[in-house]
Amino acid sequence: MGDLICLEICAGAGGQSLGLEQAGFAHEAAVELDPDACQTLRLNRDSAWKIIEDDVHNLDGRAYTGIDLFSGGVPCPPFSIAGKQLGQDDDRDLFPQALRLIEETSPRAVLLENVRGLATRRFDGYRTQVLEHLHALGYQTWWDLVQASEHGVPQLRPRFVLIGMTEPWAGHFRWPQPSLHPPPTVSDTLHDLISERGWPGADEWRNSARGIAPTIVGGSKKHGGPDLGPHPGARSMEEARSRRARCRR
């Protein structure tokens, strides 16, 4: 059996893209607006993926009709839309565009992920609108919180994941079971890369990075980029910075 074909929007620098590739999906296209993220995609996958640097509002899904999977890390709806109707004008909310593209492409399956805040009660009405739209298109749907650290990722990264599938494939869907093993540590995962060019502090760094990383959250170019937010991750990262500084000395 050949590769399954996917179209991914809001691809970022390719984290989800790489996971899909490892799961056997070939990208018909990866769509991303940010030029720096697109440059990262080109440096790593330019020969394998069609990389579209554009706003998803400009994408015509009819060119990708019949793909196996439509996927994306769609930006979280801003909290100001809670209680409003799906599709009201708000360029920051890309769920309406994702639903438009799903309708145009008619994929067999849909995978969209978001921050866990979308699971809160204030978004009940919004989630219902999304699910009703997908049901009208013939999809069975599942929405659940997935902890990345329970699936081999060395990071505290909870994500709210939406799955939609058409029949007959919907009857076979099951959420992956959490690993029975503890998550790998940052040092387990990155030591070979850290030491690749002979950095003399690599082994000392490994000894100080025997944990999992905090989540990088929020932020924007306007406000200085991503940060660790007001949670324990900030303290963990500050401790990691101090350890790296000691390793350099």
Residues recognised as catalytic: 76
Which residues lie closer than 8 Å to 247 by C-beta, 6 or more apart?
Answer: 201, 204, 205, 208
Residue 218, SS3 per DSSP: strand
Integer angstrom CA distances of residue 205 from 197, 209, 213: 14, 6, 14
Among candidates 164, 12, 14, which has minimal Cα distance to 103? Answer: 164
Q: What's the one-letter identity of residue 39?
A: Q
Integer angstrom CA distances of residue 110 from 197, 214, 231: 40, 28, 31
How far is it, in rounded angstroms, from Cα 227 to Cα 59? 30
Residue 224's region, left for phi above 0, alpha for psi from -120 to 50, else beta, is left
Sign of the CA dihedral 17, 20, 21, 26?
Answer: negative
Phi and psi at residue 72, in whole multiples of 5°? 170, 150
